Amino acid sequence: MLKKIIIPVVILAIALGAYRMMNAPKENSYGGRPATPVSAPSPESSEPKAKPGADARKTDAAQAAPGEAKAKAPAPSRGRGFRGAGQLGKQGATSVEIVPALADKTLAQLDLFGVIQAQHHTRLSATSNARVLALDVSEGQTVELGQGLLSLSADSAQEALTQRRSAQQELAARIRNETLKHDNDQASLTIDRELLRIAKNSVDRFTSLNSQQLTSGSDYEAALRAYQTQLMSVQNRQLTLAQYTDQMAQMLAQRDALASQIRLAKQVVADLQVTAPFAGLVAKVSVTQGQELRSGDVLVELYDPASLALFVRVPLRYRLDQLNATQISAVDSQGYAWQVEALRPINESGAQRLTLVPSGVNPVAFLPGSHVALTISYPIAEPAVEVPVTAVYDQQRVYLFADGVINAADIEILGRTQRGYLVRSPDFNDSASVVTTRLKTPVSGMAVAIVTSKDGARP
């Protein structure tokens, strides 16, 4: 079957190639088309002979109008090149547009982007190793003060609380025992002192009898040893009473430390039931049910929708910090009005930070972290000239037109508008004109031609 298809196709291709070779023009030995034979000029004339048909037409024309002069040949070019070269030479100067440098603008506008952030927000974290027992809320849910958010389970926290309570009870028993012992020592000291007095009298008596040789030396020595033993007992009792104050101070300090530890342990146990510290909205739930947690892991993020504010960074060149907050107005892309609550210069980052809150009862239809397009309007200190962005070079100069040339003029940008910049310069006057056409490589003294000024008038 394949041969039946291929063979006719091959035959058809061969036939087509043969047909093209038969109808192709003959080539010379160099591979090109044969040149058309041209008659050689005669020695008497340097002009080539005209074709027979042409001679016949000329003869007929001469017979039809014998008195008509022959048409003149077009004059050769005299170095002007192509037609219109002289006209283009006159238009060689760059065409630009200009606007008058009239200082009549006193209100500036800035198109900026801000970020929505909550000024009252919190991030709740696990206070100990635990496990998520139950989730009671979801992201985006509104909660009230004290409402349960999630429940945790931590056996170690309860055990730690039990151990600290046991230690507290043991210490309380020691304090009571030390108090009883102290009271007993005080009573015993009175008895010991009385016994010491008796022992001292016995020694004195035996000393007197011994001097009169009315008693033996062994009786005297026994009385003396009894006296010294009782004296040591009194001294030990006094030492114990003196140490009681320091021992009691140590035990009371231990009691206070245990009380603090018990409070913390109770708080850890209480934190196993996570509740809302204020009424707000759940921004993010960072855990799942059954998840094992470590101390410090983030559980839930909560914020107060009423505390949402818009934070905007403004370049320092626009000195908004010199204005009162009431002089600045702002409208976002949705048409909501905002008012400036605070303005903080941030010199290290080269920007000022505006804090704006909704004006009036306008709702905030954004979530924290949203970017908002904002138009800020504010007055400038003195009237300025409004020029388009194309007229300003390197944020520091424009070009003025005068007598067919342009010259650079240093400027200070006072603000922006929807159409360009508000600038001032010592070179501006009532007759000055600013070039608004963007030039690729402008230089002072460059010749230009004015096409149409912005107000539509011809120069």
HEC readout, 286-311: CCCCCCEECCCCEEEEEECHHHEEEE
pLDDT of residue 1: 59
pLDDT of residue 55: 43
State pLDDT tens for residues 277-302: 999 999 899 999 999 988 889 999 99
pLDDT of residue 365: 66
CA distance 333 to 111: 10
Sheet holding 397-402, edge to edge: 94-96, 446-450, 405-410, 397-402, 433-435, 98-100
pLDDT of residue 346: 67
Q: Letter for the amino acid at 11?
A: I
- For residues 452 and 97, the answer to whether their CB atoms sit within 8 Å is yes
CA distance 180 to 367: 66
pLDDT of residue 458: 39
Q: Is 282 helix (H, G, I), strand (E, B) or coil?
A: strand
* Cα four-point dihedral sign 451, 457, 458, 459: negative
208: Cα separation from own chain's centroid: 102
281: number of Cβ within 10 Å: 21
pLDDT of residue 398: 95
Q: Is 459 helix (H, G, I), strand (E, B) or coil?
A: coil
pLDDT of residue 67: 42
Give 10-residue mean pLDDT values along the chain (459 residues).
Answer: 72 79 53 40 40 41 40 39 36 82 86 89 88 90 92 80 89 91 89 89 81 73 88 90 89 92 84 89 91 90 89 83 85 87 73 84 72 89 89 94 93 86 90 92 92 52
pLDDT of residue 42: 40
Q: Letter for the amino acid at 420?
A: G
What are φ and ψ of residue 453, in 5° steps? -75, 165
